[in-house]
Structure 1
């Protein structure tokens, strides 16, 4: 019985110490995985991008302007001539919360995701190049936004 009192006192001291050192974390907790809704938004973003490419240069440029992340719209962005088709490998889709756009210090508002893609460029209907890389998509207020490939 005499053994329990020192243990209880030690436990109480540890509990008080932990309570004093603890701090509240703000924000909404979320799992460290991509949800089905997020996956569908990203998939739909690429489907719309490729559909616009099939309609023509001006249609795709208009879509790229409409889906440019609102915090990073650059009115001086000159889109490249031609269209692009992007084939995402959706099995590689993952969260990338530490990413910032090149040359920027600020993290975009929203949920940042990255996915491996095969990007093929076309001019006047002729394939002029293809490469494999990563593309970031940001989900904000239920919409997918990207970062237009500026020529300048």
Structure 2
């Protein structure tokens, strides 16, 4: 069990840590209220799915994976995540590519600082603060599999 928790915490660290710190002075992205609401709804849906269970959140993560990176998914091994963005840090990140990839995602790429909580069987097994990337493409918000370090 300890090995499994260590693996899950390592996965959580990858989720938040691979993106690294947000360089420079954070500046809020200039988004319309409607687009900003889409990002907020994206994380509300993700957290609600996590509250409903592993299969619901796994399905949502798969369904909202950026279309250019659908083949890159991962297994959270029976865990769920709760993502709490700090909206004042949301900004564009036009040069970002997923770790280990040279292809820039289609759409407008944004980065936001988050607090991520990893739960397994209802118990918190890890917390991490980091940054994640999301994309606005064709009026939809897409994310990246947690193992990609979003």
TM-score normalised by length of structure 2: 0.75
Q: Could you tell me which residue of structure 1 aligns to residue 100 of structure 2?
A: 103
**Uncovered stretches (5+) of structure 1, i.e. residues with no partner:** 1-31
**SS in structure 1 at match of 2:89:** strand
Runs of 4+ in 1 over 6 A off after TM superposition: none
Matching residue within 59, 76, 81 for 1:80: 76
Match for residue 90 of structure 1 among 87, 96, 110: 87
Partner of 2:145: 148
1:65 maps to 62
Indicate the structure (1 or 2) with the bigger Cα radius of gyration.
Answer: 1
Deviations 1:40-70 (A, max 9, x none): 1111110000000000000000000000000
Which structure exhibits the higher relative contact order, with contacts defined as CA atoms closer than 8 Å and separated by 6 or more residues? 2
Question: 1: distance between equivalents of 2:63 and 2:88?
Answer: 26
The question of whether the paired residues in 1 share the 8 Å contact of 2:85 and 2:115 is answered with: yes
